[in-house]
Amino acid sequence: MNGPQLIDLQFQDTPGVIAAHVLDTGDGLAIVDPGPGSTLGALEAGLNTLGAELNDVRHVLLTHIHFDHAGAAGTLLAHVPRAKVYVHERGAGHLARPERLVASATQIYGDQMDRLWGPMLPIDPDRLVSLEGEQTLRLGQAEVRVLYTPGHAVHHVTYHIGDDLFVGDVGGIRLDFRQTPRAPTPPPDIQLGDWRQSISMLRDLDARTLHLAHFGAHPQQAAHWDGLLRTMELDASRVLEGMERGQGFEAISEQFTEVLLDELSAEAAELPQRYEFACPPWMSVQGLMRYWQLQTARRGRGEA
């Protein structure tokens, strides 16, 4: 296996939506973001295509604990007794005791939980490696630099391995090279200021390739980060303008979705359908509305 390999997890039988990334450390395989529990079969099939199997996995590197990135981690470890999971310290407790995560998601997805995400099994704390960020791991022959990159989630990290950056969601959603990256902004802890700082740090790193869960490999170029910053500010301002007009969630979401999908369609005709699987626009609206409400509350308390 030469260099990182992408496995398309075929989320909801749709290609090009969620990817896991696999690399050989010399001490077993490392998987960055194994995806949701519902796609574990696709992950296993992808490993088989690469001439490997689940039992070869020793290291599961999580950028953050959202279901579409980390949902399969507990089930994977149940199949692979020697593997460990690496996750930011603020996410580790939720993986050991995922009941609150599951309950919160169930309020949103209801009886679609199992179909969309599958099981999220608890992980033995002894098999969790808590990360602080700004540290270096030695996994076999691989030197893995862990970078704390909040903004999308308070517990988000990026992995810098050689020429490769595994950026989770802080690198945005870019389903096609023709698409301008967009920021996924679901609730509950979007912080645009932190996200800008994370981008400022990542864009200056000595790396050649960005690996996105949504989706694929893209050059580490200023154009990627500039596009992400531009669309992030644009999306956030659209939601704020709707709130300032006194509109509620339904009206803002309807207008936001229509404009976003039109912009994506102009870049590539097939993008809107895939994008709605990768990041439903209404969830981004929810997260941005919460962000602006918290910003207003902070100003009301006289906080910077």
**pLDDT of 110:** 80
DSSP codes of every residue in 6-54:
EEE--GGG-SSS-EEEEEE-SSSEEEE----GGGHHHHHHHHHHTT--G
Q: Among 113-122, 236-245, 273-282, where is mean pLDDT lowest? A: 113-122
pLDDT higher at 158 or 98: 158
For residues 15-36, give the mean pLDDT: 96
Choose among 12, 4, 58: nearest CA to 35: 12
Give the integer Cα–Cα distance in Å for 265 and 294: 32
Q: Of all helices (H) and strands (E), which one includes residue 276?
A: helix 271-278
Q: Domain spans of the chain?
A: 5-228, 230-300
Three-state secondary structure call for residue 246: coil
- pTM surpassing 0.85? yes
1 has pLDDT over 70: no
Q: The domain 5-228: what is its CATH number? A: 3.60.15.10
300 has pLDDT over 90: no
251 has pLDDT over 90: yes
Per-residue pLDDT tens for 26-69?
Answer: 999 999 999 999 999 999 999 999 999 999 999 999 999 999 99
Compute the chain's Rg from CA coordinates: 19
Give the integer Cα–Cα distance in Å for 50 and 211: 18
115 has pLDDT over 90: no
**pLDDT of 304:** 59
Per-residue pLDDT tens for 85-110?
Answer: 999 999 999 999 988 888 878 877 88
Q: How confident is the model at residue 213 (pLDDT cuts 50, 70, 90)?
A: very high
Give the integer Cα–Cα distance in Å for 49 and 47: 5
**Look-up of token digits 């001439």:** 51
Q: In what order do the strands lie in the sheet with 128-131?
A: 5-8, 19-24, 29-32, 57-61, 84-88, 128-131
256 has pLDDT over 90: yes
Q: What percent of the chain has pLDDT over 90?
A: 86
**pLDDT of 297:** 82
What DSSP character marks residue 219? E
Three-state secondary structure call for residue 147: strand
